[in-house]
A = this chain, B = another copy of it.
Amino acid sequence: MKSERYKKGWDKLQEIYGAAGENVIHTLQDIAPDFADVLVEFPFGDIYSRDGLDLKSREIATLAALTTLGTAIPQLKIHVHGALNVGCTKQEIIEIMMQMAVYAGFPAALNGLFAAKDVFDEWDAENT
A contacts, CB < 8 Å to B:
24, 27-28, 30-32, 34-35, 38-39, 41-43, 46-48, 50, 52-53, 57-58, 60-72, 74-75, 91-92, 94-111, 113-114, 116-117, 120
Contacts and interface: CB of A to CB of B under 8 A. Distances in A.
A87 to B, nearest CB: 12
Number of copies: 6
8 contacts: A38-B46, A57-B60, A61-B61, A66-B107, A69-B70, A69-B71, A69-B104, A101-B105
Contacts of A47: 38, 98-99, 101-102
A17 to B, nearest CB: 14
A90 to B, nearest CB: 9
